[in-house]
Structures are given as C-alpha cells and as structure tokens.
C-alpha cells in the first residue's frame, strides 16, 4: 500500500512523464516541418517512449492500491531558433526529469517504501541514459556548428543514435 505522500509524488511524476512526451512530440513536429526527417523520427520515437514511462507509473500506482490521476499538462514550446537551441532545451528538460526522479527516490526512502524505491531504480538508470544521449547529441551539434552538410549527415544518422551509459556497459 502506498502512503499518501508517495502516491502524490508518483502522480506528480506521471504528469512530468506525460509532459516529457509532449515536449518530444512538439520537437518532432517542429523538426518535421523544417525538413529534418531524421530528427523528427528520433523525437517521435522518444515521445512514445516517454508515454510508456508514464503508463508504467500509472499501472504501478494502481497496482499498489493508489489511484493514478491524470492531470492537465503545461503546453510545450513549439518553435525553436535552431536544432541546437532545441537540443539544449531538451538536455535541460532531461536534467529536470532526473532531479524529479531523484526527489521521488528520496521520498520513497524517507517513507520506508522499499518496493517503490526498487521500482524507481529503473527510472534512475533510464535517466542516466537519457541525459547521456542528450549530451552526446549536443556534442555532435556543437561539432557541426553552422555546416549545412554536417547537419544533413547528423539528421540522417540521429534516428539510429544510441548511447550505452557506464552503468550498463
């Protein structure tokens, strides 16, 4: 059984994961209309992934005797000055999500909810991967600079980009 404090914190994370899905979806749409098909494909895929993260939380809350609530969402930004700006914002967003997961882990430990603490370890590992991937993409964008040919190649290759974090290597 979830404590009220843990349930509220998990429901806050449900909203954050849903908003993350919307952030990636908005970025996908922007990239698509800018002709960045690879970036759009990458973002659409990650939007789906973030939605699955949300659903995993919803199921967990309900299975543990709580009630997952679906709340309103903050609308994401829908236009960006450049792919670099978009990926910088994405990286900052992923850092914020990581902090939220860390706060949730702390709450689960303070409440002595070791089942939730164990459940959240998947999210901790996932956020290490998400931040590493966003950082790698930013590094590549910075290497490209204003080179249109480099952007073309990056766009072609980004949909297959993966990063293996040290924790799983």
Q: Which residues are annotated as a binding site for Fe cation?
A: 17, 50, 53, 94, 127
Q: Quick check: 62 and 10 in contact, CB under 8 A?
A: no
**DSSP state, 89?**
H
CB atoms within 10 A of CB 146: 8
Binding residues: 17, 50, 53, 94, 127
Instruction: State the sign of the Cα–Cα–Cα–Cα dihedral 131, 160, 26, 148.
Output: positive
Q: Quick check: 23 and 134 in contact, CB under 8 A?
A: no
Instruction: State the sign of the Cα–Cα–Cα–Cα dihedral 126, 108, 92, 54.
Output: positive
Tell me how far apart the alpha carbons of residues 127 and 122 are, in angstroms, rounded to a whole number.
Answer: 9
Pick the closest to residue 47 from 33, 29, 34 (CA basis): 29
């Amino acid at each position: 059984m979830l404590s009220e404090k843990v349930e509220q914190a998990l429901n806050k994370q449900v909203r954050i994961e849903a908003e993350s899905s919307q952030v990636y979806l908005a970025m996908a749409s922007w990239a698509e209309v800018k002709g960045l098909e690879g970036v759009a494909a990458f973002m659409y895929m990650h939007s789906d992934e973030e939605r699955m993260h949300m659903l995993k939380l919803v199921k967990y809350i309900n299975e543990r005797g709580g009630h997952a609530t679906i709340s309103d969402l903050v609308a994401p930004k829908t236009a960006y000055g450049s792919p670099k700006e978009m990926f910088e914002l994405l990286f900052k967003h992923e850092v914020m999500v990581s902090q939220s997961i860390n706060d949730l882990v702390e709450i689960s430990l303070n409440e002595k909810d070791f089942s939730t603490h164990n459940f959240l370890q998947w999210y901790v590992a996932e956020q290490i991967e998400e931040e590493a991937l966003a950082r790698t993409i930013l590094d590549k964008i910075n290497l490209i600079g204003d080179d249109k040919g480099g952007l073309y190649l990056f766009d072609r290759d980004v949909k297959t980009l993966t990063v293996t974090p040290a924790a799983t290597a």
